[in-house]
Chains A and B, each alone.
Chain A
Amino acid sequence: MTRNSSLSIKTQLVLTFIAISTIIIAAVTYFNFTSNVNQEKDSFIKNSIIQANLLSEFTVSALVFWDEEGAEENLEKLKNDKNILRAIIFDNEENLFAQYNPKNLQDIVPISEAAVYLDTQTDSFMDFGVLKISVPLKHKDKTYGILYVEKSTKLISNIVKKIFNEVIVFTLILFAVIYLVSIIFSNYFLKPILSLASTAQTIASTQDYATRVNYNSKNEIGSLYKAFNVLLKDTENLTNNLEKEVDIKTNELNLKTKELENSLANLKHTQQQLIESEKMSALGNLVSGIAHEVNTPLGNAITSSSIIQKESTSLFKEYEEGTLKRSTLDKKLTVLNESSTLLVKTLNYASELIRSFKQISVDQVTNDIRKFEIKEYIYEIFLTNHNKLKLVPANISIYGDDDIYIKNSPGVIGQIFNNLIQNSITHGFENFKGNARITVLLEVIKEDLIIEYSDNGKGIPQDLIGKVFEPFVTTKRNAGGTGLGLNIVYNLVSQKLQGKIQIQSQEDLGVKFIITMPLEYRKKEEK
């Protein structure tokens, strides 16, 4: 159980003390005040009844003997009582016989033989209204009339106000006394606890567990101090042991950290080496492919030039011997023309191949950023991989507008596509029986270029899809696969192209890579 309180224990104690005292004082004051008020009220009413009865005793004979003057003389004596508002004597026929009406009140008098009640017409505090008393004017058992008396209750109101003021003053003094007493008591009782708390706070901040507290008493607080000292001693021992243990563990941890740092550095180095070797391997493949590709047109060129040389030598010899016939000349010139045309064609093809190789190989080495036409560049990449693709054989389709230019690193694009093509050949089309097909779809959406690379090969098993971009994930480890191809692709897309790559695949239906990259490389983000 936890309690959140920002108040100090001393304040809480004082507040609790005051709260309890307030409730008790309020209850006592209320009952005392109410009791006093009722007592004063009852006393006033009783005295007034006695006064009215006494007056009736004195005035009854005046009524009996029709002595109005005597009756009024008796009533006049009431002027000494300032609370009397009026007093009236009625005979049995309810006729007014005599009255004392100093305030000349004119309202109707409720005549009844015997009644005592407070007529309160206002709800104001401490206003008890007018006391109305009717007393029968009797002698022995015979009633001769009624004495009606109206009395102001200001006397009670004044007494009650006085009591109220006294109660307020007394309560305030009591509160002040309670507050002082609670402060003194809380100081007295809480001093050792607060001192202990302060020491504990100091120890917590300084961590000086060698500190000890002193309290010369055998009560509960003394036990608390003793227990606190025991706790400090244990903590001191534990801290000392812990510090030693921590030192040992810290040293071990530093050692392990250093080892891990070295391992990480080695790993990074190895990864870089692998990336470089992958790049070199791709370059080697490129070179061997280009060499293979150039070999055919060069062979044709050599054949054509040999034919040209052979035919021109034969033509020159027959010309010198004078055996050259016109038909032979036509035939030889036709052969020469065809051979030279073939020679030019094959040499142009070889030249084109070398130009592509030159651009792609330079891009792969430099990774420079430049603006280029993407569709043509992808076509050239496929061209450099032609010797490998024709072994599958795979049909290549590239869809998209011819005028899509991007500003980025063509070398990175080449490296990505080389990996994807190699991936399709090695995994997708291994022992593939159908018509292998690689399709590239280019599309511009707002500021981004979407490249969809797909093959219709074997696809990737579902359990591997989530891990294909992780390093060293391969199904061809025994066959020489490093498991870095798609990891490199992932890193190149996300870090170099500032793009994203997604994979979709179903087994036996092929694989699709969707690359989303900005049309223009953003230098700021590179920072």
Chain B
Amino acid sequence: MPKVEITGASKRFGDFDAVKDVSMIVEDGEYVSVIGPSGCGKTTLLKMIAGILRQDSGEIRFGGIRMDDIPIEERGVGYVFQDIALFPHMNLWENISFGPRAKGTPIERTRLVTLEMLEMMKLSGRYRDLPGNLGGGMQQKAAVARAIAPGHRLMLLDEPLSMLDARVRSELRFELRNIVKDLGLTAIHVTHDQEEAMAISDRIFVMRGGRLVEHGEPADLYFKPARLFTAYFLGESNIVPGRVEKNDGTETLLKVRHQTISASACGFELGSKVAVVVRPELIEVRASDDGNCVKGRVRSRTFEGPFMRYIIEVEDHFFLRVKAPVRAGVGRLRVGEEVGLRVRPENVRVYDFPAGGLNKEIGW
């Protein structure tokens, strides 16, 4: 039942287009996330799916049935908010069993569902605790359990992890995904955290200015984004202007400042102005110069735990960011040291140079 189809949905607040002509399909059992900068319309979209907001135009269907005139409580959705919305005066058992009880579910069935939820969330030992006695991570898990308990098959999650400690957040996202998958639910998860979206979802939808930019599986979107904005927004990128110097169908050579960089064959005409994108972790740094690579000088380095982050100056005012695993032995490059940089051609992405300039396309 919970295949979600949205066709041409738009929503306007005054003269502001919050959501503009969005169409998307979420398959039964799929975990998708919607990401984008603040104000991109992702929460508005989620609220329309829930029935909290009514779209101005377009259709929303669950399992082929039009939902437009069906109120939130009859749509069969569990909604989880950023602020943990448990009843503070009820213990976990009462909170989780609230939905089934309110629906008039038989007592024995309610008991079983509540038990199952507590076990699944690894909260069985805490069922008599009031929410205030639990850490934020446990509270949010209980909130998820409460949203699922009435038997809802579609979960809508609005920044469910963003109020939690970094440490708790990075564990809970995998737990959340496993729970949704184990129960065979469908989930739509809105977040501004790109890493969370990558880790948790089967597919990611990228939004900007109320519109859908593109969607795809996390690894495809991350390594082979079709749009420059995605390359910019999802993860970290070096984005520099360049020009196509050679394109013979097997190889593309790009001129970036005074450097020549080789990319996989692409459809750009000779001389086109392009935006060249390389992920910092896909640049290989070598301490010694072994020819056939771009040379530069280490300008700064920052220890980040598993990675060392370097800023490399290739030419005057032309800097590249590089992230190198600390283990690889290149974690000890010194500031001022000369290094060679290499990127595999297939890891160099090339895009049309944006008409309004780079800053407009990917500015703050």
Whether chains A and B associate is no
Q: Which B residues lie at the A interface, using CB under 8 A?
A: none
Instruction: Please give the residue numbers on chain A whose beta carbons come within 8 Å of chain B beta carbons, in ascending order.
Output: none
